């Protein structure tokens, strides 16, 4: 009997050990629930969040809503619609929850019962915000309107013709061709009277305008806001068209008065991106973020305040990159920003006197080795999305005593069975004597006595921090799980390390940043556990450009290269990309102007093809208009004609990113197949 008990114990222990020695796989990555914060209860004790889950067989996804008790961490499903549910908000002091489903606004009891539809608006609504006062819901949303003539309007006798005629730039944008429609901000009011009220009518506050709000392609509900007194709507728009739109980042914040139906420009004369309009809780202050320079999309993002009574404007946070912010009290704002390879959560308190604002205190609330992203505040509690290189987003709560606790555990059942990677912060000395923060991610079964193939990760942007992000494509945990050490340097041109460090990349794409990459991989290659004979370099967008550039200057360091949506030929890229302000600021200007000769000669990857010798995988999407498909085709063709081992992976219906589940699995299969072929 004792032998049987011992054997059973052994089997149980080895079974448990087997369950905890798995590593991340592409399939498991798609099993993870993708958590997104929706709203926090006014009492600060509950929160709504959404979870997106993917069906690989059906190549589709659904999103349901959940509510979590912040004190106990207990979660419950509040929708089981088997669809995609968004824009959830507490109404009637938490007794009801409003949300968007199939393009229409719905309401339900707080427990998910008694769902009913509140709008019946043609073609549906998007980017919804609800404001409830005394049983009336004021609904702000965006909707698409036909504002211009199309080719079929111009040629009604040719109904089957498929063409577009344009006389100006911005005829396509990121992944879509320009058409005859624009997104406008709209509103409607709905009385909650026991189920009898439904909104059919609405007001388009930008009627007949040929401009967009939210700003395409990435703007959302954060681009508009209703004032606390319900009298004004602030919204963001770049009211330019054609070439003027293509070369400028000068968006403004407009104020629409509901009673007078008049519109004024709050930020006139402020020349960069003005975004994220908001009011203090009592409406005495208006706030927004602003970039000072026109044409520079990665400029410092400063926080401004306007005293509504006096009309005075003041800069509250300057020379910093405010990612997002919320009002906590009348004199306290919470915000996050990039800092030292993480996204940190800060607070600032201030007073207001006749001579302006005075900062009372400012400091970091959360500064550990994680990213703190979207967050909300209510009654002394902060709920925030947190992630790191080993964990996808979960929700955490920070209470009045600054105690941080995890409140959702959507993916704990998967992560509990996985071995994690060790993530190390390493400072590397650059060729100009600076210290560069570099993340090193080790395989979960890392053995320092063995040599490991190693990947240099090249970041896109170019001004986009290598932080503690968790990507479902460029996933460091997955790369490490496949046996690779990953070296991810915060090279020149990234925020979070001072303004100069971020701006040093502009007009120097192929200069110091390339030296920083090589410094990072050379520094780690000195370690005995790095297989210096099996190094690879991978990256997307500017990271893909970096791979093409390194291919010609790496001096036989790398044995495998992967470039996704990379820029290969800066001349043809300048002639086919869409937002020209980006090209003009970062490259300098057009290829026909001799003032920018360096960008098109010394920093142009096509000019170093004669040195290519490392096997190259090229990946590109057919709907990528930021870095058009010709860039990948030219690079692949050059590699083929030079007899460099190469492969071309083409996704005809993907843009700058790969979003389809099955395409994502195929991407990872080709990605690791290529690396394993040449580095193992």
Number of H helices, E strands in the chain: 14, 38
Q: Is 260 a catalytic residue?
A: no
Contact 37, 375 (CB under 8 A): yes
**Residue showing tokens 């912010």:** 325
**CA dist., res. 493 & res. 511, Å (int):** 11
Q: HSE-up of 562 (CA within 13 Å, CB side)?
A: 26
* SS3 at position 541: coil
Strand partners, 326: 334
382 and 398 Cβ atoms separated by less than 8 Å? yes
Active site annotation includes 624: yes
Sheet with 452-458, strands from edge to edge, namely: 423-429, 435-441, 485-489, 452-458, 530-540, 560-564, 616-621, 646-651
CA 158, CA 145: separation in Å to the nearest integer? 23
Here the tokens at position 513 are 């940043």
Distance CA 389, CA 608 (A): 34
* Cα separations in angstroms, 14 against 7, 9, 20: 10, 9, 10
User: Of 337, 391, 564, 656, which is the active-site residue?
Assistant: 656
- DSSP H or E run through 357: strand 356-366
Q: Would you say 256 and 242 are in contact if contact means Cβ atoms under 8 Å apart?
A: no
Is residue 669 part of the annotated active site? The answer reads: no
DSSP-derived letter for residue 673 is H
Residue 100 CA: distances (Å) to CA of 225, 255, 314: 18, 26, 37
What's the rounded Cα separation, in Å, for the pair 355 and 358?
Answer: 9
Q: Is the peptide bond before 673 cis (omega within 30 degrees of 0)?
A: no
Residue 556 burial (C-beta neighbours within 10 Å; 0-12, 13-18, 19+): exposed
Which contacts qualify for 500-506: CB closer than 8 Å, 24 or more apart? 501/434, 502/298, 502/321, 502/463, 505/462, 505/463, 505/586, 506/296, 506/585, 506/586
The Cα 89–Cα 465 span in angstroms is: 31
Compute φ and ψ for 87, nearest 5 degrees: 55, 45
Catalytic residue chosen out of the listed positions 323, 624, 646, 668:
624
Nearest-CA neighbor of 639 among 563, 541, 528, 586? Answer: 563
How many angstroms separate the CA atoms of 153 and 172, rounded?
19
Considering the candidates 541, 546, 599, 646, report the single residue annotated as catalytic: 541
- Token pair, residue 273, equals 């991106």
Q: Which of 303, 302, 305 is nearest to 280 (CA)?
A: 305
Active site members? 541, 624, 656
């Amino acid at each position: 009997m004792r032998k049987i008990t011992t054997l059973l114990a052994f089997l149980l222990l080895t079974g448990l050990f087997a369950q905890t020695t798995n590593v991340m796989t592409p399939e498991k990555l798609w099993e993870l629930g993708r958590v997104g914060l929706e709203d926090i209860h006014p009492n600060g004790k509950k929160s709504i969040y959404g979870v997106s889950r993917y069906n690989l067989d059906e190549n589709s996804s659904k999103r349901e809503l959940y509510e979590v008790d912040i004190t106990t961490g207990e979660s419950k499903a509040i929708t089981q619609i088997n669809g995609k549910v968004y824009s959830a908000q507490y109404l009637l002091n938490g007794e009801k929850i409003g949300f968007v489903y199939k393009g229409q606004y719905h309401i339900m009891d707080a427990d998910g019962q008694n769902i009913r539809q509140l709008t019946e608006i043609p073609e549906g609504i998007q980017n919804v915000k609800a404001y409830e006062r005394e049983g009336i819901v004021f609904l702000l949303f965006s909707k698409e309107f036909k504002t211009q003539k199309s080719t079929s309007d111009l040629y009604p006798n040719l109904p089957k013709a498929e063409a577009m005629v344009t006389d100006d730039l911005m005829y396509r944008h990121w992944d879509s061709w320009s058409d005859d429609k624009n997104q406008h901000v709209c509103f409607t009011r709905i009385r909650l009277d026991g189920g009898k009220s439904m909104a059919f009518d609405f007001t388009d506050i930008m009627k007949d305008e040929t401009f967009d709000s939210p700003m395409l392609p990435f703007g959302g509900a954060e681009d508009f806001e209703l004032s606390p007194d319900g009298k004004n709507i602030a919204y963001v728009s770049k009211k330019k068209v054609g070439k003027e739109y293509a070369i400028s980042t000068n968006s403004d914040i407009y104020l629409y008065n509901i009673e007078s139906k008049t519109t004024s420009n709050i930020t006139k004369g402020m020349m960069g991106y003005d975004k994220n309009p908001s009011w203090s809780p009592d409406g005495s202050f208006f706030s927004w973020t602003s970039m000072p320079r026109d044409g520079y999309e990665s400029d410092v993002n400063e926080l401004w305040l306007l005293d509504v009574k006096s009309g005075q404007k003041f800069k509250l946070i300057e020379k910093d990159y405010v990612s997002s912010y919320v009002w906590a009290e009348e004199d306290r704002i919470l915000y996050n920003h990039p800092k030292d390879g993480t996204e940190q959560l800060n607070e600032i308190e201030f007073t207001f006197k006749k001579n302006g604002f005075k900062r009372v205190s400012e400091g970091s609330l959360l500064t550990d080795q994680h990213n703190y992203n979207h967050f909300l505040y209510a009654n002394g509690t902060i709920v925030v999305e947190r992630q790191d290189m080993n964990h996808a987003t979960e929700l955490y709560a920070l209470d009045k005593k600054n105690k941080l606790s995890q409140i959702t555990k959507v993916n704990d059942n998967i992560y509990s069975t996985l071995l994690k990677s060790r993530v190390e912060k390493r400072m590397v000395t650059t060729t100009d004597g600076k210290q560069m923060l570099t993340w090193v991610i080790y395989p979960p079964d890392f053995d320092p006595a063995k040599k490991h193939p190693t990947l240099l990760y090249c970041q896109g942007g170019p001004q986009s921090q290598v932080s503690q992000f968790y990507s479902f494509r460029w996933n460091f945990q997955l790369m490490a799980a496949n046996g690779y050490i990953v070296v991810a340097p915060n090279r020149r041109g990234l925020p979070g390390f001072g303004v100069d460090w971020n701006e040093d990349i502009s007009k120097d794409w192929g200069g110091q940043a390339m030296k920083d990459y090589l410094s990072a991989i050379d520094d780690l290659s000195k370690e005995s556990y790095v297989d210096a004979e099996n190094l690879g370099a991978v990256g997307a967008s500017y990271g893909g450009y970096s791979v093409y550039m390194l291919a010609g200057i790496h001096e036989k360091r790398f044995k495998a290269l992967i470039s996704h949506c990379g820029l290969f030929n800066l001349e043809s890229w300048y002639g086919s990309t869409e937002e020209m302000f980006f090209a003009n600021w970062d490259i300098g200007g057009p290829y026909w102007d001799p003032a920018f000769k360096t960008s098109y000669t010394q920093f142009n990857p096509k000019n170093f093809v004669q040195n290519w010798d490392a096997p190259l995988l090229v990946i590109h999407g057919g709907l990528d208009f930021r870095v058009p498909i010709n860039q990948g085709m030219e690079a692949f063709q050059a590699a083929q004609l030079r007899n460099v081992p190469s492969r071309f992976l083409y996704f005809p219906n993907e843009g700058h990113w790969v979003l389809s589940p099955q395409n994502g699995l195929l991407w990872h299969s080709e990605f690791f197949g290529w690396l394993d072929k040449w580095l193992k």
